[in-house]
């Protein structure tokens, strides 16, 4: 049994090693995920004259939805790199020579994992619904202020979620439209397509909505069970984005607070299909943050066994684990939403599988036995050199 002072020094040393890499990983992974959105946001500034302050607020609103994924990813990479370096520099051997077993090195790692899980849980429970709702509201305000700049002739216009519009001609001065086709899919159970010879678009007074006035056209509605309805009209008006109205900006499952999800799940009027989607979303709010705890068990033995490959090997292993985890999570979520598996079971399957795998690897590493995955890594390295 080693001295408590040695235990404290060793714990602080491991925490410091992990935390610096963890913070760096969050920044890098978040920036990578933001790159796809930054192209669109940059276009708002260059082409549509949207103020940089609004674009900055949009980025802030997007960050929580990315943090739910990047925090577990960054923690996995941090533990792999930290223990990979300790192993490569033979510090793990020195620590074990002092009478410290691999399992006795785990408490500081698990402490870091709990902190990472709490951060991800906060982002999932509070940040995601707040950020998504604020992003949609700000995007619609920007759209209203720049509606004349966003609509293009002979181009599909999909700036409003659930609505796609095409027009043969658009007059920016009078906001007049000619040859209009609109697909309104905000009601998934009864999507409709509207054809109109001409019309106009304007801001509804006293609200955050857009008012579309269409003339001389037809509405095609597809219903459940193959039902089809056709309505011809001389004049037709539709409002998009008004708060508190069914035709407003839709609130999808990721936009809802946990209390909203629970209320709609318990609502007898909620269809079974929607209830399954909301149950899957509710459980995913907890399963993704808990991935940090699972990765703590999995990453330590892999990091120790990865001593020869260094940082590049740790990065490769982390990406492989992340891809496998999120692909599996995507599969089980689809099964949960289709009702093939109960959501309460399906969404926790990836965590259970990776936790069992991590415990098995940890046992092997504690017994100084090699992990069987690493011969496959050598084979992959051989093929990389050959190509």
User: Do 271 and 52 meet the contact criterion of CB atoms below 8 Å apart?
Assistant: no
Phi-psi region of 225 (alpha: psi -120 to 50; beta: other; left: phi over 0): left
Rounded mean pLDDT, 207-222: 82
Are the C-beta atoms of residues 220 and 228 closer than 8 Å to each other?
Answer: yes
pLDDT of residue 244: 39
% of the chain at pLDDT higher than 90:
31
Evaluate if residue 380 carries a pLDDT over 60.
Answer: no
Task: Identify the pLDDT of residue 383.
Answer: 41
Q: How confident is the model at residue 3 (pLDDT cuts 50, 70, 90)?
A: low
**Residue from 270, 255, 179, 244 nearest 217 by CA:** 179
Query: pLDDT class for 110, splitting at 50, 70, 90?
Result: very high
DSSP structure string for 114-142: HHHHHHHHHIIIIIHHHHHHHHHHHHHHH
Mean pLDDT for all residues in the chain: 82
Q: Which of 102-106, 188-192, 320-324, 331-335 has the least mean pLDDT?
A: 188-192
Strand order across the beta sheet in which 210-222 lies = 163-171, 176-184, 192-203, 210-222, 228-240
pLDDT of residue 184: 87
Highest-scoring range by mean pLDDT, 48-62, 159-173, 243-257, 340-354: 340-354
* Max mean pLDDT range (21-30, 142-151, 230-239, 357-366): 21-30
Mean pLDDT of 249-258: 77
pLDDT, residue 133, reads 86
Average pLDDT over residues 158-173: 80
pLDDT at position 79 over 60:
yes
- Note whether 295 and 361 are within 8 A (CB): no
- Least confident range from 34-38, 57-61, 285-289, 323-327: namely 34-38
pLDDT at 274 over 80: yes
In order of 40, 158, 208, 257, 278, the CA distances from 252 in angstroms are 22, 17, 19, 11, 9
Q: What is the mean pLDDT of residues 98-115?
A: 88
Local structure of 239: helix, strand or coil: strand
386 pLDDT exceeds 50? Answer: no
Q: How confident is the model at residue 354 (pLDDT cuts 50, 70, 90)?
A: very high
Q: In degrees rounded to 5, what are phi and psi of residue 231?
A: -130, 125
pLDDT in tens, 219-235: 998 876 678 888 899 99
* pLDDT recorded at residue 246: 37
Name the 3-class secondary structure at 157. strand
How large is the average pLDDT for residues 289-295? 93
């Amino acid at each position: 049994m080693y001295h408590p002072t040695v235990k404290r020094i060793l714990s602080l040393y491991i925490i410091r090693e992990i935390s610096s890499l963890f913070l760096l990983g969050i920044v890098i992974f978040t920036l990578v995920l933001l790159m796809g959105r930054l192209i669109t946001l940059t276009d708002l500034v260059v082409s549509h004259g949207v103020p940089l302050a609004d674009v900055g607020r949009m980025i802030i609103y997007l960050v929580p939805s990315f943090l739910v994924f990047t925090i577990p990813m960054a923690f996995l990479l941090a533990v792999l790199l930290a223990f990979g370096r300790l192993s490569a520099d033979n510090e793990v051997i020195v620590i074990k020579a002092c009478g410290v077993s691999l399992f006795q090195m785990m408490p500081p790692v698990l402490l870091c994992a709990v902190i990472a899980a709490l951060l991800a849980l906060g982002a999932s429970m509070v940040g995601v619904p707040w950020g998504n709702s604020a992003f949609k509201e700000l995007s619609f305000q920007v759209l209203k202020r720049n509606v004349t700049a966003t609509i293009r002739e002979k181009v599909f216009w999909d700036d409003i979620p659930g609505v796609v519009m095409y027009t043969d001609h658009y007059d920016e001065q009078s906001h007049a439209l000619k040859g209009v086709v609109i697909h309104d899919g905000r009601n998934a159970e009864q999507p409709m397509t509207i054809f109109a010879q001409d019309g106009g678009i304007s801001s509804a007074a006293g609200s955050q909505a857009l008012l579309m006035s269409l003339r001389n056209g037809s509405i095609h509605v597809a219903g459940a069970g193959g039902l089809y309805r056709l309505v011809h009209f001389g004049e037709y008006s539709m409002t998009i984005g008004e708060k508190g109205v069914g035709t407003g900006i839709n609130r999808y499952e990721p936009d809802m607070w946990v209390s909203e999800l629970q209320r709609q799940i318990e609502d007898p009027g909620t269809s079974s299909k929607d209830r399954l989607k909301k149950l899957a979303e509710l459980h995913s709010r907890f399963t993704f943050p808990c991935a940090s705890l699972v990765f703590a068990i999995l990453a330590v033995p892999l990091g120790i066994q990865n001593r020869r490959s260094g940082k590049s090997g740790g990065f490769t292993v982390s990406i492989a684990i992340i891809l496998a985890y999120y692909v599996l999570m995507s599969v089980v979520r689809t099964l949960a939403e289709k009702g093939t598996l109960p959501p309460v079971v399906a969404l926790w399957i990836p965590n259970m599988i990776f936790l069992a795998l991590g415990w098995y690897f940890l046992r092997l590493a504690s017994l100084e036995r090699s992990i069987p995955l690493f011969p496959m890594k050598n084979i992959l390295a051989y093929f990389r050199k050959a190509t």
